[in-house]
Amino acid sequence: MTRVLGIETSCDETAAAVVARGENGAPVILSNIVFSQIEEHAAFGGVVPEIAARAHVEALDGVIEAALAEAGTSLEEIDGIAATAGPGLIGGLIVGLTTAKAIAAALGKPILPINHLEGHALTARLTDRLEFPYLLLLVSGGHTQIVHVAGIGRYERWASTIDDALGEAFDKTAKLLSLPYPGGPSVEKAAEKGDPARFAFPRPLKGEARPDFSFSGLKTAVRRAATELAPLAEKDVADICASFQAAVTETLADRVALSLKRFRAVYPKLAEPTLVVAGGVAANAAIRATLEDLSRREGFFLVAPPLNLCGDNAAMIAWAGLERLEKGLVDGGAMAFAPRPRWPLDETSAPLIGAGKRGVKA
Ligand code: KG4
Ligand code: ZN
């Protein structure tokens, strides 16, 4: 049984997990501990990098101990240590990667610096034993992109946001409406009682031939509506949220459809072409339902990992490490690998433009 310890500290979750490949070849999550810092950042309406880095230092040792204890595994039984090395907030990355290197050096085991986006990209192979190739829609607080996943280390970005990430649009909308942080779940909840047809918000890039996403115009439209109506009644907030979500799902379906068609054209013989959705925004029920509909219409199979593995976690980092370890993709110089606040998954695609490149949150 191959066992890998994974560490994730790229944003506001301090996480550690032990993942293994059992005798029968099936992946097993032996433990998956996530210590959320949400409460420490809530008063500021967003993640404060300095607070995050300090909180990682304070929590990480205990979180690793908890992950090993829950897995019933000693450090000696671990075959490799995987840690997120980017993209993300530099302070947190340094804490996680340095700790992982120290453990690896003490044990004489391989260190596996992992791209956080690769963790999201490979999660469906951990949860559903999905075969390559597949299409990935990654929607989180820092990224909105469609990636053609052809194999381990073989990623091709087909589309991305040209401005805000989708999670960021949810968070900014929540902030404008004075809804609690983190914004996504608050907006989704408020939208349940709202009228999605009351505001005709824009559907950015809908109908355009390029497959990319844009959300900043939507945010501006929300701000305008909120300013005109102020002070807002509860019904106004609900209607704005419902109308915002209607615009998001409609534009998302239109944009994603283009990449589904491209994938079909690249793999005309694939019996069951698959779309995987990952990232925190994948928790949104309206978005999941939209993607289900779209996939059915286009003849795709939709894989949406369970909610606790959609958001940031260390099981996905341990899993990416395990896949790399098994393939012999271990870099002899990895001890010298420096954290990379910006680290595109697909280094061959054109550089990202706009805020979507920041990689502050993934
Ligand atoms: O992947 P994730 O947990 O963390 C990083 O971005 O690194 O994603 C967090 C993002 C936040 O922007 C949050 O508002 C959004 O996912 N989110 C949601 C929902 N739950 C979380 N957005 C829409 N609807 C939700 N239910
Ligand atoms: Zn992430």
All residue ranges of the chain with pLDDT < 50 are 355-362
Instruction: Please report, as a single letter, which amino acid is at residue 319.
Output: W
**311 CA from centroid of ligand 1 (Å):** 7
- Pick the ligand that lies closest to the CA of residue 192: 1
| CA dist., res. 34 & res. 41, Å (int) | 16
Residue 281 in contact with ligand 1 by CB distance below 6 A: yes
pLDDT of residue 245: 98
pLDDT of residue 352: 62
CATH 3.30.420.40 fits 2-122+309-346, yes or no: yes
pLDDT of residue 356: 42
Which residues, 6+ apart, have CB-to-CB distance to 277 below 8 Å? 136, 137, 139, 287, 288, 291, 302, 303, 304, 310
Question: How many CB atoms neighbour CB 268 within 10 A?
Answer: 7
Q: Which of 140, 186, 276 to mutate to test the pocket of ligand 1 (most atoms within 8 A of CB)?
A: 140
Residue 309 in contact with ligand 1 by CB distance below 6 A: no
pLDDT of residue 360: 39
CATH 3.40.50.2000 fits 131-307, yes or no: no
pLDDT of residue 155: 96
pLDDT of residue 235: 97
pLDDT of residue 347: 79
| CA dist., res. 91 & res. 56, Å (int) | 9
Q: Whose CA is nearest to atom 2 of ligand 1?
A: 280
**216 CA from centroid of ligand 2 (Å):** 21
Residue 171 in contact with ligand 1 by CB distance below 6 A: yes
Domain residue ranges in the chain: 2-122+309-346, 131-307
Dihedral (CA of 311, 357, 96, 100) sign = positive
pLDDT of residue 22: 86
Residue 248 in contact with ligand 1 by CB distance below 6 A: no
Residue 141 in contact with ligand 1 by CB distance below 6 A: yes
Same fold: 2-122+309-346 with 131-307: yes
Which residues, 6+ apart, have CB-to-CB distance to 7 below 8 Å? 15, 16, 60, 64, 81, 82, 83, 84, 96, 97, 99, 100, 314, 317
Q: Whose CA is nearest to atom 14 of ligand 1?
A: 184
